[in-house]
Amino acid sequence: MDLAYLAEWANLLIRWLHLVAGIAWIGTSFYFIGLDNQLDPPRDGNPRVTGEQWSIHGGGFYHKQKYAVAPERLPEKLHWFKWEAYWTWISGFSLFVLIYWGSASTYLVDPQVLDMAPWVAVLVSAAMLAGGWVVYDLICRSTWAEDETKLSIAMVGLLVVAAFVACHLFSGRGAFLQVGAMTGTIMVANVAMVIMPGQKKMVAAMQAGQEPDPKYGRWGKQRSVHNTYLTLPVLFLMISPHYPMTWSHPFNWVILLAVALAGALVRQYFVSRQFGRNPIILPAAATAVVVGLMVVLRPAPAPSLAGVEVPTMAEVQAISANHCAGCHAARPTFEGIAVAPKGVMLETPQQLRRWAQAMRQQVQTEAMPPGNLTEMTAEERTKILAWIAAGAPAQ
């Protein structure tokens, strides 16, 4: 069986797993952050309990209590939440390796940004994944972590540096996914390297008849809060490959940061609502950011087509064969492409006419071919645009 076809199935199944695991992890994270923010003072006066909540769901009543450090004795059965996070990262990293490392020359490297060998790009990418976590963790363990304002400034600074560096090393598409992978790695490492070990030490202390050290609870809560604010930006980065208008912009790193800001504002609004507040300024600010992006990212005016002769269908087919059909074909020949992206095929006159308007956007913004790997000239782009403006004639 064709290797590229098997890779396409691997892409589909791993992506499906990634979505399922991600939904489970994000849902759990949102639930517990919301629960923590909506606890009421305990009615029974138990000094060990910091808060409780009564709720109803699915036809049943639930009574939840949170202990300041730990209960008096360890229950026989204790539920842990970790595999949702682990499988989200395992599947996401597998996708990143399969697509962006496996076809680095197509998806990760853009000679117009930085001409480097694919294997170098993969090594740099791996170093950034590991380095992002190391720097973040060192900051969280420094004295800066004692001041939430300083820590927040440091976290924003780290994101700015990561976005700027990635967008000046890799293709726009690859840079956005690189930052997403770095952020996702930080989030799951928070679970695996801080939250889970701390919880295990708390359980071990109780099993030994000792009072658990409250610092592990504080550290775990801090990292959980960080994760919840990173969630919405990461979700955008996951879907960003489908929207080249964002990552193909000359200042794509600024676009990335703006979207991250909008996501964080929306998440902060959710959190505030859980405390019973309604700071409408937060979603209003997020909306303003998105509207601003819509204005900034609007397509440039089409080049003047005055005097440009409308090419024949044969000419259009020839241009497409040289620059588009390597990917957009029934049997793609481009490295790492097994099936035409989004099902768009640009081989026959009927196919070209069907997708003419979609071609206009991609050709005019120079989002396609990716990184202009096939070196489509300005003259060829003008011919395609003139043909589309003339109504995509069949002759």
- Give residue-wise pLDDT tens across range 37-74: 889 998 887 888 989 999 999 999 999 999 888 888 88
- Confidence tier at 1 by pLDDT (50, 70, 90): low
Tokens of 123: 């090594």
- Same domain assignment for residues 206 and 268: yes
Using alpha carbons, list the distances in angstroms from residue 179 to 96, 116, 147, 184, 257: 12, 19, 26, 8, 11
Let me know the angle formed at the C-alpha of 295 by 291 and 299, rounded to the nearest 5 degrees. Answer: 135
Q: Report, as an integer, the average pLDDT of 149-158.
A: 91
Query: What residue type is assigned to position 207 of the chain?
Result: Q
Three-state DSSP class for 95?
helix
- Same domain assignment for residues 330 and 279: no
Count of structural domains within the chain: 2
Q: Report, as an integer, the average pLDDT of 158-167.
A: 96
Percent of the chain scoring above 70 in pLDDT: 98
Q: Report, as an integer, the average pLDDT of 156-172.
A: 95
Using alpha carbons, list the distances in angstroms from residue 331 to 35, 59, 98: 51, 53, 20
- Same domain assignment for residues 108 and 157: yes
- Same domain assignment for residues 182 and 272: yes
- Confidence tier at 386 by pLDDT (50, 70, 90): confident
Average pLDDT, the chain: 89
* Residues 219, 216: Cα–Cα separation, whole Å: 5
- Confidence tier at 288 by pLDDT (50, 70, 90): very high
> Which structural domain range is residue 369 located in?
313-389
- Same domain assignment for residues 146 and 98: yes
In tens, the pLDDT along 259-281 reads: 999 999 999 999 898 888 889 99
Q: Report, as an integer, the average pLDDT of 129-156.
A: 92
- Same domain assignment for residues 210 and 335: no
* Residues 303, 238: Cα–Cα separation, whole Å: 33
- Same domain assignment for residues 283 and 347: no
- Same domain assignment for residues 332 and 382: yes
7 in a structural domain: no
Q: Angle of helix 252-274 relative to helix 281-296, nearest 10 degrees?
A: 160
Least trusted range by pLDDT, from 143-147, 251-255, 284-288, 330-334:
330-334
- Same domain assignment for residues 200 and 255: yes
**Of the residues 244, 262, 296, the one at which a domain ends:** 296
- Confidence tier at 306 by pLDDT (50, 70, 90): confident
Query: What residue type is assigned to position 209 of the chain?
Result: G
* Residues 355, 388: Cα–Cα separation, whole Å: 10
